[in-house]
Amino acid sequence: AQSVSQHNHHVILSEAASLELGCNYSYGGTVNLFWYVQYPGQHLQLLLKYFSGDPLVKGIKGFEAEFIKSKFSFNLRKPSVQWSDTAEYFCAVNALYGNNRLAFGKGNQVVVIP
C-alpha cells in the first residue's frame, strides 16, 4: 500500500520568505505525484503534478517541486511567499497505471504573515 508523509504540519512564515514542504512516499513501483492546495473556504485544487520526464516540475503561482526517485521524495518549494499563499498543502501519490486512488499526506497548514 502507498503511504505519504508530510512533516511540520504547521508552518508560519513572513511574506517574501522561502517555503519548502517535504513529502516522502513509500511505494516500490513507478508513481504519479501531486501537490494539491486548499485555500481557506475553497475546494482542493491541483498545484502541480509529476508523471514523467524532467523531475523539476513547475506549477501555478510560482510553485515548483522536485522529484528525487532515490529519496522517494517530492518536495514543494516557493522562493518568495505571499500572504495569499496561506493555505493547506497536500502531497498525493498514485501508482502508475493504477487508478484514481490517491494516497494523501496529512497536509501542511501554511500561514504567511504580511
Partner 1 sequence: KAGVTQTPRYLIKTRGQQVTLSCSPISGHRSVSWYQQTPGQGLQFLFEYFSETQRNKGNFPGRFSGRQFSNSRSEMNVSTLELGDSALYLCASSPLVGLGANNKNEKLFFGSGTQLSVL
Whichever of 46 and 68 has its CB closer to partner 1, that residue is 46
Draw the binding track, 21-50, toward partner 1 (x: CB under 8 A; -: no contact). -----------x-x-x-----xxxxx--x-
Listed in sequence order, the residues at least 6 apart from 99 whose beta carbon sits closer than 8 Å to its beta carbon are none
- Give the count of residues interacting with partner 1 (CB under 8 A): 26
- Say how far apart CA 36 and CA 22 lie, in whole Å: 13
Question: Is 11 a binder of partner 1 (CB under 8 A)?
Answer: no
Question: Is 101 a binder of partner 1 (CB under 8 A)?
Answer: yes
Question: Is 70 a binder of partner 1 (CB under 8 A)?
Answer: no
Dihedral sign (CA 96, 102, 103, 109): positive
State CA 23 to chain mean position distance: 7
